[in-house]
Amino acid sequence: MSGARTLAGAARVGPLVAAGGAAAIVLWGLRRHLLVVTVSGGSMRPAYQDGERLLALRRPGARVRAGRVVVAESPDRETLTWQERDAAGSPALLIKRVAATAGEPVPPEVAGGHARVPAGRVVLLGDNAAASFDSRQAGCFPADRVVAVVIGRLGGHRASGDGSGTPRKEGDRRWSS
């Protein structure tokens, strides 16, 4: 009789294990396509405040359009050069609004002297020009340096950070805005 009870218990546990495994696979798949970022700094005010958590969809830069807010790799702020992708460590990231894409007119305040955005490039601007490092200083960004498109906010506004853009060890990363 005790053997029958063991088999009945195993029959109930089996579907739970399978459901848990399926959920783990779905979460792993979502992690490959979604990115959670935390705004650091005031360059995207008033749209986004320091400390807000955003959900972004990983997508190639060629698919973005003007007006969308994106997460992009940042060039070095002094040399305006890009970190090699195979270099150790993650590149610094920025949260910016796409102002123009390839073939569109370059806004007059953008560095670089182009009349139109060159192929494979995008213009990225912070909403708060006085507090933003963006295409005004760095010129057009390579479109392939855009890593994700912001699709929404997560859980409202959190307490403000120090605005330095330094990642905090909270399970998610802080990106300079």
Residues designated as active site: 43, 96
In eight-state DSSP terms, residue 161 is -
Q: Tell me the C-alpha distance between 159 and 51, whole Å.
A: 6
Q: What is the dihedral of CA 158, 161, 164, 167, to 10 degrees?
A: -70
| Whether 41 contacts 116, CB under 8 Å | no
| Whether 82 contacts 75, CB under 8 Å | yes
Which residues are 98's β-sheet partners?
124
